[in-house]
Structure 1
Amino acid sequence: MKNPLLLLLIGLIFTSCGKSKKNHTEVLEDNNSLAVEIDSLFNSYYNDDGPAAAIFISYNGKEIIKKTYGLRNVNNGEKATNNTNFNAGSMTKQFTAIGILKLQDEGKLKITDTVYRYFSYPIFKNVTIEQLISHTSGIADADRIVRHSWNSSDLMSINDVMDWYKNNDITKFSPGTQFSYNNGAYCVLVKLIEDISGKPFSAYMNEVVFDRIGMKNTYFVSEKNFGKIPNMAVSYERDSLSNWVSNDPYDFSNALVGPTGLYSNLNDYSKYLKALRQYQILSETSHELIFKPVSMDIELHSDNMQRLKDKESFYSMGWEVTDSLAVSAGAGFGINNWSIFKFKRPLSLVIFTNNDILFKENLVDKTYNIIDRYVKN
């Protein structure tokens, strides 16, 4: 594990970088040429015969590119638009973490509290809320365990995961000593939000985040809308004959929210990135925590972005952070998503796709390298 003093010092550097600054020595030059290069790149992989990609780039508060390519539904030929809702996958975790930080702002919990204080199950005795968020809790991933044994025609729920934790005390390591990605931990965070706020998770998140910053067309999966998200992008992968095939709507074990389960679009997510820059969602103190490193050194997403290779990176509040940027990814069947939030440069980027091309073709690096050439001193 990293030296606590070193983590503190790095955290101070990171959070100071995360603050929006009025004066920048760098400018993004020749936006038209940048748009042409991005177009050329994405048109090489996405067309009107296959699934979609959606990309948003902003710099210094200015929208540079907001564009979609391809189809949200290959079967009926319906094109993707800036309002098309893509399955965000694990990018959902950013918002779950913000829900917890909002409860802290309201004085209803502290992220340093033990989970046992709220759920007196033996497995949670020495685990803090912050450790759940940072994947350092050491508890078994009940989401994975319950999901793999699920054989019911009912939708799997947060309560099914919580029941497993109530009846099993299985840990992988002592809390805070290692990093191990854990979707089950984020199910516990959702249950905390619901019990403490007294509201359904989606209702609470709408109130404290989405409605507040104008994300009017972002949705969490629920029993009522399962497989029926408005403007939903159907997810695809190629079969052995290179035909695009879908698994939507997802099987009944895939309806959990918290670790995943969010559907959003370019128009809404771009508002979220702007709100992060302008400290509009949480108190200033809690905003600083969003990008403050919590875990030990990891290379969680280095396979998808080469600039993370051999660079110190840490997990924070749903993001992987280095000294210069934060990244968040969503991956799964027909889900390849990526978001970048730069600290030292006022650059934000998100790419949503309803297919597996983005990571297979290393498009994150290719996209970022194009953008980087246009940022000049």
Structure 2
Amino acid sequence: MKKILVLFILWIFISPNIIQGQNLETAVDELILKSFNDENGPGGVFMVAHHGLPVYQKAFGKANLELGDKLAVDNVFQLGSMTKQFTAVAILMLEQQGKLSVGDPLSKYIPDYPNGSKITIHHLLTHTSGIKDFTKMKSLGDIAQKEMTPKMMVNFFKDEPVDFAPGEKFDYNNSGYVLLGYLIELVSGEKYEDYIGKHIFDKVGMTRSCYASDRKVIKGRAYGYHKKESGYVNKTVINFSVPFSSGSLMSTVSDMLKWQNALNKNLLLDSAETKKAFSRYKLNNGEEFSYGYGWHIRDINKVPTREHGGSIFGFKTMAVYIPGEDIYVIGLSNCDCNSPTKVTGDIAALALSFLSGVKKDNH
């Protein structure tokens, strides 16, 4: 009789969490399969984590169409503009060490930069510099496959007419983040790739993350694709020295969770510097905009979120973090025909309804 009573009590406490987990899994599956439903095409990998631990992770579609290899949850994807998170945090790490200040003018580090005395590091971080975005320049095709140094990249766009005065508008800008990568090199004395590898990836334990390369053999690489009328084709090749610190990192969903956990634990930044990354800022006219340093600061159903996506030839990515509930949702796709942006947001909203109020001890 005692045994039956103990089992009954255990069932009362455990079964709601099992049912909840099953329901969450089924609901997330349904959301993903609305878009990622081609078993024989490229697909995506998705993860939902709660209190730093995965509660859902699955792969859909193929990692390599030529070989027919299925995607796995540990495949390595190009992150595209999610790279900007790492660039922003690296800048804040250097500020924390007293090597720069986000209020510094660009001219302090690049004396000949046009209008550099009025453009600050803060403007670069928040996409409010007014500098021409190199991805919108018609001449980009001339350099897309060339090996460029950071200085060459800066010289490529620095003399272009500005779009507006610094601080006047928010306008998403890749050139600003290329400049930030160049500043990291000038201030630290290390190559951007090495700085991120040594001071972030190694410190956080992101062993599957790296600066992108089409030549290196990268274990577990997911290959990128476009979709044409005739079917899927291999991604357009670019030289990763062109997107550089605005979009050239690679990672896995597990490593990205390590990254999120490291930020939460102040492993890289103290609380004051972390607050700078996740604050909203104002334009010259006092109007607030919804971008911090490397993250969009938004909300889902009035619950605050930190979000960023990425898009680079053959890949699209998206991640949403809900700090109030410690929920992290990430989707990585290996076809730029299939964006995970909406589905990742929808999963985050779903996870919020399922996991809100569930305490850490339940995992």
Relative to the length of structure 1, the TM-score reads 0.80
- Of 314, 317, 320, 2:290 maps to 314
Structure-1 residue corresponding to 2:269 = 282
Code of the residue aligned with 1:52 in structure 2: it is: G
Q: 1:29 to 1:170 in 2, by over 3 A?
A: farther
Q: CA deviation at 1:83?
A: 2.2
**Equivalent position SS for 1:195:** helix
Which residue of structure 1 aligns with residue 327 of structure 2?
Answer: 347
Contact conserved, 1:162 with 1:188, CA < 8 A, in 2?
Answer: yes
Verify: 1:233 aligned to 2:222, yes or no: yes
Amino acid at match of 2:26: V
Distance 1:110 1:28 in 2: 49
Structure-1 residue corresponding to 2:142: 150
The equivalent residue for 1:191 is: 182
1:40 to 24, 30, 42: 30
1:204 aligns with 2:195: yes
- Counterpart position of 2:125: 133
Residues 360, 284 of structure 1: alpha-carbon distance in 2 compared, 3 angstrom cutoff:
closer
Contact 1:113 1:129 in 2 (8 A): yes
Give the aligned residue type for 1:115. Answer: L
**1:272 CA drift (Å):** 0.7
Q: Tell me if 1:90 matches 2:81.
A: yes
Q: In the aligned structure 2, how far is the partner of 1:98 from the partner of 1:326?
A: 14
Structure 2 partner of 1:246: 234
Q: CA deviation at 1:87?
A: 1.1
1:139 to partner: Cα distance: 1.5
* Counterpart Cα distance in 1 of 2:133 and 2:105: 18
2:116 pairs, out of 124, 128, 135, with: 124
Q: 1:82 to 1:361 in 2, by over 3 A?
A: closer
1:105 aligns with 2:92: no
- Residue type matched to 2:262 in 1? A
Partner Cα separation in structure 2 for residue 267 and residue 251 of structure 1: 26
Matched ranges for 1:349-364 at <5 A: 349-356=329-336, 358-359=338-339, 362-364=342-344
SS in 1 for 2:281: coil
Are 1:264 and 2:255 an aligned pair?
Answer: no
Contact 2:320/2:344 (8 A) holds in 1: no
Separation of aligned partners in 1, 2:354 and 2:23: 9
For these two proteins, the number of residue pairs brought into alignment is 332
**CA-to-aligned-CA distance 1:57-95 (integer Å, 9 cap, x gap):** 111233211222221111111122232111111111000
Cα distance, 1:181 vs. partner?
1.4
* Partner Cα separation in structure 1 for residue 240 and residue 259 of structure 2: 29
Change (3 A) 1:29 1:293: farther
User: How big is each residue's C-alpha offset from its partner over 1:156-195, in whole Å with a ceiling of 9 and x where there is no partner?
Assistant: 34222222355x2622211111111111111111110011
In structure 2, the residue matched to 1:73 is 64
Residue 247 of structure 1 aligns with an amino acid whose one-letter code is: K
Offset of residue 213 of structure 1: 0.9
Match of 1:338 in 2: 318
Q: Partners in 1 of 2:18 and 2:297 — Cα distance?
A: 23
Tell me how far 1:31 sits from its aligned partner. Answer: 1.4
Q: Write the distance in 1 (CA, Å) between the matches of 2:33 and 2:145.
A: 41
Percent identity over the alignment is 25
The change in CA–CA distance for 1:360 and 1:189 in structure 2 (over 3 A counts) is: closer
Q: Could you say what the CA RMSD is over the residues aligned between the two structures, in angstroms?
A: 2.7
**Structure 2 unmatched runs, 5+:** 1-16, 358-363
Question: Unaligned regions of 5+ residues in structure 1, if any?
Answer: 1-26, 298-311
| Pair member with larger Rg | 2
Amino acid aligned to 1:330: G
Contact 2:320 2:348 in 1 (8 A): no
Q: Does the 8 Å contact 1:28/1:59 carry over to 2?
A: no
Q: Corresponding residue for 1:49?
A: 40
1:313 and 1:68, CA in 2 relative to 1: closer, same or farther beyond 3 A?
farther
Q: Please tell me whether the aligned partners of residues 29 and 375 of structure 1 are also in contact (alpha carbons under 8 angstroms).
A: no
- Counterpart secondary structure, 2:142: coil
Q: Aligned to 1:327, what secondary structure does the other structure show?
A: strand
Q: Give the Cα–Cα distance (whole angstroms) in 2 for the partners of residues 37 and 238 of structure 1.
A: 28
Report the CA distance between 1:321 and its aligned residue. 0.1
Change (3 A) 1:254 1:74: farther
Partners of 1:335 and 1:353 within 8 A in 2: yes
What TM-score, normalized by structure 2, do the two folds share?
0.83
| Partner-residue secondary structure (3-state), 1:54 | strand
Q: Mark the CA change 1:347 to 1:226 in structure 2 (over 3 Å): closer, same or farther.
A: same
